[in-house]
Amino acid sequence: LIGKERAKDEINILLEPIKRNTAPAIAFAVKYLLEVEKASPETVLFVSPSDHLINPEDKFVEYVKFAESIAKEGYIITFGVNPYTPETGYGYIEADIKSPLKMENIFQVFKVKKFHEKPSLEVAQKYISTGNYYWNSGMFMFSIKTILEEFKALSPDIFRLITENSFEELIKKFTEMPDISIDYAVMERTEKAVVIPLYIQWSDVGSWDSVYSIYPKDKDNNVKFGNVFTVETKNSLIVGNKRLISTINIEDLIVVETDDVLLITHRGDTQKVKDLVKQLSNDEKTREYVIHHTTVYRPWGSFTELEKGNRYKIKRLTVYPGEALSLQLHHHRSEHWVVVKGTAKVYLENIETGEKKEIYVHENESIYVPKSFKHRLENPGKINLEVIEIQVGEYLEEDDIIRFEDKYKRLNN
């Protein structure tokens, strides 16, 4: 999916070798820009989460352009959102509004007095009443030079790793990075932090409560998606997927159906989903629901698990035009492929006899791939290839794959 987006938009996407929170991710990007892109230390970077809803966008762009001029003066900017409700799901920024650093038209710049964790409702109400607290949006802006200076002073472990290693060496040593956010590593201790208040519509869409708040409501104040039928239902978010979701005489609920999980909770409690996921992860009976997604994306396309039973598994494969799965074999399963859209180019090799063949399989045709045969599925066409795959065997997990050739360099995986 990422490769497809990169090709479409002609952008560079840099992925962490392993999850290590936002401070190492930013340091990793800085190292890439300096060494690979040959960026100037004066280059200004804008750091943002990917799940924000911002409106109007053109006004936000004006804020960002203004912030760039402040970043060039050596400050680290954090964007604070003017709070319109006592939200308990966001952190807060306390600003020194009595001594503004700069006032220009709609723009304001204040020194940051303190960062505050997510508060209780009572504390959040107090924050709003004082008028000098803003929601912490998690967006930052700074120059490469400034952030390196702060890493050196405040996070020497991170600074050492990015200065003593080349970019390629850093990839291999990324596991040595501390697991720490940019808030804890730099922002809460730096003397260079300033906040620019945003007077726009903003949501981090970080919970189902956020989804409910941003979408238009029906006459009963409900937000509904998918195949949903309601009777005497009010003030609720209901998200259907494949099945019909029907409700009778409920209020203030969040109901979300996915392929493998159904979530039901009260509105206002969806921040606790993280705690639920942690509990599911720690239970052997439910861990699979957390670590295995029904749809998995690969460089060549994606596959979705449709059904799983004793000694069989059914998947839907989507292969992008011109892409191919690796040349591979499985020791513990055979596969049946039924083409439902497009044309497949299939390579089969019997490793015992050496017999090889290449076959084109068209829509509504099928082919059998025996256990321990080398095989490859390829899409030679101009449209997505869709295949129903039926696996049969005593072991059906994804690690039963031996790769011999792979255009995506996954031979060691």
Q: What is the pLDDT of residues 145-163, one digit of tens each?
A: 999 999 999 999 999 999 9
**Is the pLDDT confidence value at 8 over 80?**
no
CA 256 to chain CA mean position, Å: 19
CB-CB contact of 202 with 160 (8 Å): no
Distance from C-alpha of 246 to C-alpha of 251, rounded to nearest angstrom: 13
User: Domain ends where: 147, 173, 203?
Assistant: 203
Residue 266 and residue 302 share a domain: no
3-state secondary structure of 25: helix
CA angle 67, 69, 71 (to 5 degrees): 70
**Is the pLDDT confidence value at 412 over 70?**
no
CB-CB contact of 203 with 213 (8 Å): yes
Residue 218 and residue 327 share a domain: no
Q: Answer yes or no: is 53 within a domain.
A: yes
More confident of the two residues 288 and 251: 251
* pLDDT at res. 214: 86
Distance from C-alpha of 325 to C-alpha of 408, rounded to nearest angstrom: 9
User: Domain ends where: 142, 171, 203?
Assistant: 203
More confident of the two residues 30 and 203: 30
Residue 289 φ then ψ, to 5°:
-65, -25
- Range 161-168 average pLDDT: 96
Residue 163 and residue 74 share a domain: yes
Beta partners for 229?
Answer: 246
Residue 68 and residue 180 share a domain: yes
Q: Answer yes or no: is 25 within a domain.
A: yes
Residue 306 and residue 400 share a domain: yes
Query: In terms of residue numbers, what domain contains 267?
Result: 208-272
Distance from C-alpha of 196 to C-alpha of 224, rounded to nearest angstrom: 35
CB-CB contact of 181 with 49 (8 Å): no
Q: Helical H runs in 43-143?
A: 57-71, 121-130
Distance from C-alpha of 110 to C-alpha of 196, rounded to nearest angstrom: 7
Q: Residue 57 has what DSSP assignment?
A: H
Distance from C-alpha of 210 to C-alpha of 207, rounded to nearest angstrom: 5
* pLDDT at res. 16: 87
**Is the pLDDT confidence value at 125 over 50?**
yes
- Range 336-343 average pLDDT: 98
Segment 261-319, tens digit of pLDDT: 999 999 989 888 989 999 999 998 998 888 888 999 999 999 999 999 999 999 999 99
* pLDDT at res. 166: 96
Q: Answer yes or no: is 277 within a domain.
A: no
User: What is the average pLDDT value for the chain, to the nearest integer?
Assistant: 93
Segment 311-321, tens digit of pLDDT: 999 999 999 99
Residue 343 and residue 234 share a domain: no
**Is the pLDDT confidence value at 42 over 80?**
yes
Distance from C-alpha of 331 to C-alpha of 183, rounded to nearest angstrom: 48
Closest listed residue to residue 147, CA positions, set 234, 34, 242:
34
3-state secondary structure of 227: coil
Q: Answer yes or no: is 287 within a domain.
A: no
Residue 262 and residue 170 share a domain: no
CB-CB contact of 181 with 120 (8 Å): no
Residue 232 and residue 318 share a domain: no
CB-CB contact of 150 with 116 (8 Å): no
Residue 401 and residue 328 share a domain: yes
- Range 333-353 average pLDDT: 97
**Is the pLDDT confidence value at 327 over 90?**
yes
Residue 163 and residue 59 share a domain: yes
Q: How many CA atoms lie within 13 A of 233 on its CB side?
A: 19
Q: Read off the tokens for 182.
A: 């940019």
Q: Residue 310 has what DSSP assignment?
A: T
* pLDDT at res. 5: 53
Distance from C-alpha of 22 to C-alpha of 183, rounded to nearest angstrom: 8
* pLDDT at res. 413: 47
Closest listed residue to residue 11, CA positions, set 3, 19, 22:
3
Query: How many separate domains does the chain show?
Result: 3
Residue-level length of the chain? 413
* pLDDT at res. 19: 87
Residues 6+ apart with CB under 8 A from 107: 63, 66, 196
Q: Answer yes or no: is 410 within a domain.
A: no
CATH code assigned at 352: 2.60.120.10
Residue 326 and residue 187 share a domain: no
Residue 400 and residue 304 share a domain: yes
CA angle 40, 41, 44 (to 5 degrees): 90
CA angle 359, 360, 363 (to 5 degrees): 140
- Range 96-107 average pLDDT: 91
Q: Is the dihedral of CA 395, 397, 400, 406 positive or negative?
A: positive
